[in-house]
Structure 1
Amino acid sequence: MINNDIEIAVQKVPEDQLKTKPDQNNLGFGNFFTDHMFSMHWNRQQGWHEAKIHPFQQLQLDPAAMVLHYGQAIFEGLKAYRTKDNRILLFRPQDNFARMNKSAIRMCMPRFPAERVLQALRALIYLDKEWVPHAKGATLYIRPTMIATEPMLGLRAAEEYQFFIINCPVGAYYSEGFNPTKIYIEDEYIRAVPGGVGDAKTAGNYAASLKAQIGAQKKGYTQVLWLDAKQRKYIEEVGTSNIFFVIDNVLITPPLKGSILPGITRDSVLQLAEDWGMQVEERRISIDEIVKACEDGSLQESFGTGTAAVIAPVGEFCYREKEFTINGGNTGPVAQKLYNELQAIQFGEQEDNHGWVVPVS
């Protein structure tokens, strides 16, 4: 049973102690953090308690905190958008919290009261509303996180947790902006296996991807595209995004079979493509099929989807040290249209026909 009636206290930063806002045209990604954060605690006796919005501060953890030893850590990523008429909107926050609770179940962590936490998030962003950027294309990135805090050495699920939300104003995720990226197809290391935790947004998945990502970046590539764990043959996802291909005017993406994160932006793209009447396939697609399609010209474009980058066109990929160019290295029309429409909905410039947008106030 999840208690949606928890009280939420508010402790404001004194006016003379507020941080200086960064240059909105030079934000980067994940470099600056707002004045306030939200946190709450859980234990078996009290459930969720001590819920409060308070000044941004360091966490206090016992060296034996179980997250440090056994990896119980999950998180989400979503954004707040400032409209031209100065409203602030969230995009599909209920879906992010629903996915986070699924991650919690997989990682043997307590589910949280999503409805109440969404109310807290809206209050938190309203309190720090001046941190939501006015600059074109910039947003406020939101990072809900849950970690195991019980001080105990011994392999079992913890009995104490902390949930917190921190926010940071951000610009483009990739230095390329919306220009096509270069990706390296990894066939040595793997990200996730069927029956594992690939479909949970848990910290260990990202730690496991770092070695391959660093290797790809040293070779001049932005991201890694992962193949399946069994045959090293079928496309899975990019390190921070789901992946799409347009082959002979058909939009294709790998299916969700337990080793791929069910992306919120991925789902939004599938819905928009359906709205347009575009043929869509969620199916297994091999790297051999992609190489062949690239060689015979039927691969028209490719792009990644995710909250941070929204739509990330792919202009080139490398497989087994051979480079393949997609659409002349240019952004394709499907990626461009999806990006434009998603951004228009998120920034309140286009009608939201799916109930995706949630106003902060």
Structure 2
Amino acid sequence: MTAQLEFTHRPAQSPTPVARRQEILADAVFGRHFTDHMVTATWTPDRGWYDGAVVPYGPLNLDPAAAVLHFGQEILEGLKAYRHADGSIWMFRPDANAARFARSARRLALPELAVEDFVAALDRLVRIDRDWVPSGEGRSLYLRPFMFASEGYLQVRAARHVTFGVIASPAASYFGGQAARPVTLWLSEEYTRAAAGGTGAAKCGGNYAASLIAQREAIENGCDQVAFLDSVEGRWVEESGSMNLFVVYDDGRIVTPELTGTILEGITRDSILTLASEWGYAVEERRLDVNEWRTGLASGQIPEVFACGTAAVVTPIGMLRWRGGQLRVGHGDAGPVTARIRRHLLDLQEGRTPDTRGWLHRVC
């Protein structure tokens, strides 16, 4: 695909006062506050992508019959902009997010957006709202690109009017408090996240909606997040509600569930596989039996488990709990492998470690 969009700019007439913005940045809570502007663009079959613009953040004008409300035809992405010590602003692997966005669009019968247009939209918004990018370890501007069927109709078919947007939110730790706080996982044995042939590999809202009842069950059982098993045998570990999973063995192996079409192809997951392989760890992408997981925790053969994603970065798992039992992971805190990976990723993203792989994209 070739780039199609140019972005006009309509400045916010009443931007957030500087003092209020500084208050928000000083106490950033993930996904609660948003910058002064957002990106919008439109697609139709005859015109392709057009009307790219950076406009004041505000409500969207949506027909009650918009297909997204009735058939859920939409996708999303998530990535971050980081302020380095010299004041420059960088994004981490936006081209990989753009490629996944295109794959998700194909699966949901939505139009693809060129990588160049995707990255340009992010660049434009971050440059205009650059004062919203916080500084400090573990702090960033979270970027949420999204696309949805905005055509008003009630026939079951792919939309012929589609809206693309990007919003941005200053963020600290996803789970709040200390960024590396170990979390407790609830093993869902009743609900599944995705099925073969479904949308598990696409980043779309329906996958998250399907996980919410299991997430509620996790919270009711004193857990932070949920871990899902496969939908056929209820045996193979897949991912959590919002993160990919890794287990670390005492012999140095690092195992993550293989991509089977039901697991999201995480950008952070892929980055960790690259780093761990370069560092000499024996990395395995394979099916992981839940009983192997539990047995390994009980025997100490699996001393570390961690989850990863753009929002949570790398999060240690301190406990696995299910109906009728629970097992602590190692000493219940971040083990050395988890800590090393997390530290390197943060140092790389925030500019304290040289980028030797071309993963960082300078915005301004």
Give me the TM-score of the superposition, normalised by structure 2: 0.96
Give, in angstroms, the shift of residue 181 of structure 1: 0.4
What pairs up with 1:145-224 in 2 under 5 angstroms?
Answer: 145-175=146-176, 177-224=179-226
Q: Is the 8 A contact 2:142 2:169 kept in 1?
A: yes
Q: Is the 8 A contact 2:317 2:334 kept in 1?
A: yes
1:276 aligns with 2:279: yes
Q: Is the 8 A contact 1:24 1:135 kept in 2?
A: no
Distance 1:119 1:24 in 2: 25
Q: Is the 8 A contact 2:25 2:132 kept in 1?
A: no
Q: Is the 8 A contact 2:4 2:49 kept in 1?
A: no
In structure 2, the partner of 1:241 is 243
Distance 2:176 2:12 in 1: 33
Give, in angstroms, the shift of residue 3 of structure 1: 4.4
Which of 88-97 and 133-142 deviates more? Answer: 133-142
In structure 2, the partner of 1:73 is 74
Distance 2:304 2:6 in 1: 49
Q: Is the 8 A contact 1:3 1:48 kept in 2?
A: no
What do residues 125-179 of structure 1 show as CA deviations (whole Å, max 9, x unaligned)? Answer: 0111110002432110000000001100011111110000000001100135311
Q: Which amino acid aligns with 2:242?
A: T
In structure 1, the partner of 2:322 is 319
Structure 1 residues 56 and 295, CA gap change in structure 2 (3 angstroms): same
Number of aligned positions between the proteins? 359
Give, in angstroms, the shift of residue 18 of structure 1: 3.5
Give, in angstroms, the shift of residue 24 of structure 1: 2.5
What pairs up with 1:337-348 in 2 under 5 angstroms?
Answer: 337-348=340-351
Q: Is the 8 A contact 1:304 1:313 kept in 2?
A: yes
Q: Which amino acid aligns with 2:107?
A: R
Distance 1:125 1:191 in 2: 33
Q: Is the 8 A contact 2:314 2:341 kept in 1?
A: yes
In structure 2, the partner of 1:336 is 339
What do residues 288-335 of structure 1 show as CA deviations (whole Å, max 9, x unaligned)? Answer: 001111111101100001000100100001133201001111111111
- Percent identity over paired residues: 40
Give, in angstroms, the shift of residue 195 of structure 1: 0.8
Give, in angstroms, the shift of residue 271 of structure 1: 0.4
What do residues 87-107 of structure 1 show as CA deviations (whole Å, max 9, x unaligned)? Answer: 101000000011011000000
In structure 1, the partner of 2:12 is 13
Distance 2:321 2:160 in 1: 45
Q: Which amino acid aligns with 2:346?
A: Q
Give, in angstroms, the shift of residue 353 of structure 1: 1.5
In structure 2, runs of 5+ residues without a counterpart are: none
Q: Which amino acid aligns with 2:46?
A: Q
Q: Which amino acid aligns with 1:123?
A: R
In structure 1, the partner of 2:260 is 257
Q: Which amino acid aligns with 1:7?
A: E
Determine which of 225, 228, 248 is the counterpart of 2:227. 225
Distance 1:306 1:240 in 2: 7
In structure 2, the partner of 1:126 is 127
Q: Is the 8 A contact 2:137 2:350 kept in 1?
A: no
Distance 1:260 1:106 in 2: 14
Q: Is the 8 A contact 2:249 2:301 kept in 1?
A: yes
Q: Is the 8 A contact 2:121 2:166 kept in 1?
A: no
Distance 1:283 1:17 in 2: 50
Q: Report SS of the residue matched to 2:24.
A: coil
Distance 2:170 2:320 in 1: 31
Aligned Cα RMSD in Å?
1.1
Distance 2:126 2:267 in 1: 21
Q: Report SS of the residue matched to 2:25.
A: coil
Distance 1:163 1:3 in 2: 17
What do residues 227-279 of structure 1 show as CA deviations (whole Å, max 9, x unaligned)? Answer: 00011111000111000000132000000010000000000000000110111
Q: Is the 8 A contact 2:180 2:316 kept in 1?
A: yes
Distance 2:153 2:204 in 1: 21
Give, in angstroms, the shift of residue 281 of structure 1: 0.5
Distance 1:76 1:332 in 2: 29
